[in-house]
Structure 1
Amino acid sequence: MSSTVILVTGGSGFLGQHVIKHLQLHSSNLKEIRVLDLVPFRKKLQYKESFPVRSFIGSITNKNLVLEACKGADAVLHIASLVDSTLFPNEKALQEVNVKGTEVVLEACKANSVPILIYCSSISIYVGHDEVKKGTETTVPIPHKFMFEKYAKTKLKAQNMVLGANGDILKNGKELKTCAILPLAMYGELDINLVYQYVVHVKGTLIPRIPKLGKMEAEIQVSYVGNVAMMFVKALDVMRKGVDIGGEYFYAADDTPLQTLPSLLQPYLDGTGHSFSSWYIPLWLVLILVIIVQIVMGLIRPWKKVNTYFNIEGIRFLNKTFHVTYEKANRILGYKPIYNLESSINNSNFYYNSVLNK
């Protein structure tokens, strides 16, 4: 296998940092890893560097920058994305980054004859208001109404764009091969979302018993970020070997047990003296409170751009059972989680404890 140049968009972010780490640890014959992100790449995880990293600073919507970053590249892992699940999502920014940005990356691959494009999509494009148990890529349909409507629409449009481009002819006359990886909600080092948000909010409260928002009996599925990153590496390896997985997509799940949100979060709250209460605020009352917050903030927003993660979609998501399998990735990519539950929690705990001690 000849030396390969890999471009990772969004390589400075949560998942991107782990993808860089696992490329360094588990890939071979790489000439260079390139990172395109809004901020310079700075190694934030512990690992031995085997290949040089070159940083391109700017937005994926910058055509000239993306063209330059793609010159001489053999594969692009397109991870850069805007995630916005707030009460008032920025629709214009979501469209600009997730759709237009992906279009720019796709066109740059064609212009520079980059033969491999692996897109980081999102499980949100399959999350609606119906329960899903042990779902697979062939059994879970796109819902009539998304749980996170504004965000999911842009991710679906971008995924369709990338997978639809599989087989397109590049400038050198060869074919473009594309696939998509769909992460679930993730936890682990550098997380700034689900677990992180709870840890930070708990840190600032004097209430030792955290009330549940609804019964919170739904089975929540999350994945350790290191395992998700490894699926990108496995997909890249398979495609570099010439195996045709073009046009396919894969759920990036692992063996983290299905559990309620309180059970998921408790290992990371143990050191804080906090825990979830046995009682809960009825879901209907929580939703009324959210609507009141939405009305009040809506009245304020013309003068001050206030926002919050406290919204109807988020509350419903945490009370909705949804889980899928990684059988397809195992069968086609040879993917198996490389981190078991113990190592995943230990790695994560070190990070979340550092957040609490700041």
Structure 2
Amino acid sequence: MANEQTETFLITGGGGYFGFRLACSLHEQGLNVVLFDVRPPAHQLPDGMAFCQGDICDYGQVEQAVHGMDCVFHSASYGMSGREQLNRRLIEEVNVGGTEHVLRACVEHSVPRLVYTSTFNVVFGGQVIEEGDESLSYLPLHLHPDHYSRTKSIAEMEVLKANGAKLKNGTGVLRTCALRPAGIYGPGEQRHLPRIMGYIESGIFKFVYGDPRSLVEFVHVDNLVLAHDLAARALTRGQQYRAAGQPYFISDGRPVNNFEFFRPLVEGLGYTFPRVRLPITLIYFFAFLTEMAHHLIGRVYNFQPLLTRTEVYKTGVTHYFSMKKAQAHLGYEPREYNLDEVVSWFRSRGHGKKQGAPPSRRLLLKTMIVAAFIAAVLSCLPVVGQ
């Protein structure tokens, strides 16, 4: 990057798994890095890296953090999975309102570059997509089955629309781009893998669902870090601003069945991979019932849904994308990773097969199976009046 030794980078959501990993990579290159988040990282900051505690929903705090930056990586978001997906108010405030705050602050404080961490979901809503590319239209907002995807779509459109906005000091314009990653994995990932591990260890992971030929994609955290680094470079004059105003799909480039992807984790920790396969319609209906139950009692008991409807189609419906544009514009070439390091990470923390499952967990499993059976029966009953 131009003037690398003097540039300073802000990472919103820097206290999270990906944000901190990105920060460490930039720091190792000798760059100045500031993390902005409501909570500090779980790991100790390297010498020379700064942490600014603040809420992206508070413009004053965002403005203070953005001041003096040469580039902002905007990765803060809320509502990606689990019960977070059901908190519509906070999802809107963080994903839409927070992005508006970041864009406004960049213009006000003359920050010339912004890289936005988006999602596949801006074009995917449960329909089959094979080798899709950036020419695909945004999924119409009213068709998004979850509020996270809808708000991320709105935010990405605003980010790309802001490309070319005149900076307040009158010396240039803001240049933006958006990266659309697949599901992130890697050792120490704290959003999805611990939840999956909980299902495995509790004995709940007794079946898979959907067509065994369905394919999805994942991206190793270090490949995503690489893509962000390259995107920031591609927003500079030295690279003809070629990423300005552009979205890019980012993954490992290896479509795989969702459950087969996790087989090495299950078996690597000594568990038996499920042989039972259920229809995706049954699981989707079960997820719908779970969401309805959460809507009714969530304020009293904010339980973690086993699955949401969005998670069902994201894991069971084919959707994968071409990375030719990222390769051509950014020079992105993903490195090959597997789950060996993830298995080692969990084993080093005492995870692995133990004798028997706790009675409470067995009861939960039985309850889930009974509920799924009831859902299947109900779904087959005729509708009154037809």
TM-score (normalised: structure 1): 0.88
2:183 counterpart residue number: 185
1:14 partnered with 2:17? yes
1:172 counterpart residue number: 169
1:351 counterpart residue number: 345
CA displacement 1:37-79 (0-9 Å, x = unmatched): 112245469xxx6x82111001112222222212211111111
1:302 deviates by 5.4
1:24 deviates by 2.7
CA contact (8 A) 1:186 1:225 kept: yes
Amino acid at match of 2:11: V
3-state DSSP class of the match of 1:96?
A: helix
CA contact (8 A) 1:119 1:180 kept: yes
Q: Which residue of 58, 62, 66 maps to 2:54? A: 58
Q: Give 1:230-245 correspondences, 5 Å limit.
A: 230-240=226-236, 241=238, 243-244=240-241, 245=243
Amino acid at match of 1:36: F
The 1-side partners of 2:44 and 2:323 are apart by 28
The 2-side partners of 1:41 and 1:272 are apart by 27
CA displacement 1:122-146 (0-9 Å, x = unmatched): 11111123211111112x2222465
Residues 292/250 of structure 1: CA separation in 2 closer, same or farther (3 Å cut): closer
3-state DSSP class of the match of 2:8?
A: strand
Residues 158/356 of structure 1: CA separation in 2 closer, same or farther (3 Å cut): farther
The 1-side partners of 2:39 and 2:299 are apart by 31
Q: Which residue of 146, 149, 152 maps to 1:152? A: 149
Number of residues of Structure 1 aligned to a counterpart in Structure 2: 344
Q: Give 1:221-236 correspondences, 5 Å limit.
A: 221-236=217-232
192-201 vs 261-270, greater mean Cα deviation: 192-201
CA displacement 1:112-162 (0-9 Å, x = unmatched): 111111111111111123211111112x22224655431111111111111
The 2-side partners of 1:273 and 1:131 are apart by 34
Amino acid at match of 1:34: V
3-state DSSP class of the match of 1:318?
A: helix
CA contact (8 A) 2:287 2:306 kept: no
1:238 deviates by 2.4
1:324 partnered with 2:324? no
232-241 vs 70-79, greater mean Cα deviation: 232-241
1:220 deviates by 1.8
The 1-side partners of 2:244 and 2:283 are apart by 44
The 2-side partners of 1:67 and 1:293 are apart by 40
The 2-side partners of 1:202 and 1:44 are apart by 30
1:215 deviates by 4.1
1:252 partnered with 2:246? no
The 2-side partners of 1:43 and 1:296 are apart by 36
The 1-side partners of 2:290 and 2:114 are apart by 42
3-state DSSP class of the match of 1:93?
A: helix
The 2-side partners of 1:53 and 1:189 are apart by 22
Q: Which residue of 128, 133, 146 maps to 2:130? A: 133
Q: Which residue of 196, 207, 210 maps to 2:206? A: 210
CA contact (8 A) 2:144 2:150 kept: no
3-state DSSP class of the match of 1:182?
A: strand
Q: Which residue of 84, 90, 95 maps to 1:93? A: 90
Residues 175/283 of structure 1: CA separation in 2 closer, same or farther (3 Å cut): closer
Aligned-pair identity in percent equals: 25
The 2-side partners of 1:299 and 1:83 are apart by 19
1:71 counterpart residue number: 67
5+ residue gaps, structure 1: none
The 1-side partners of 2:212 and 2:191 are apart by 18
1:327 deviates by 1.1
Q: Which residue of 272, 277, 280 maps to 1:275? A: 272
1:198 deviates by 1.6
97-106 vs 264-273, greater mean Cα deviation: 264-273
| Structure with greater Cα Rg | 2
3-state DSSP class of the match of 1:275?
A: coil
CA displacement 1:78-123 (0-9 Å, x = unmatched): 1111133336611110110011111111111111111111111111
CA displacement 1:237-273 (0-9 Å, x = unmatched): 2223352121111111123x32212210011112332
1:4 counterpart residue number: 7
3-state DSSP class of the match of 1:52?
A: coil
3-state DSSP class of the match of 2:57?
A: coil
166-175 vs 83-92, greater mean Cα deviation: 83-92
2:26 counterpart residue number: 23
The 1-side partners of 2:200 and 2:8 are apart by 43
1:194 deviates by 3.5
The 2-side partners of 1:272 and 1:191 are apart by 17
CA displacement 1:288-311 (0-9 Å, x = unmatched): 433443444444335433341422
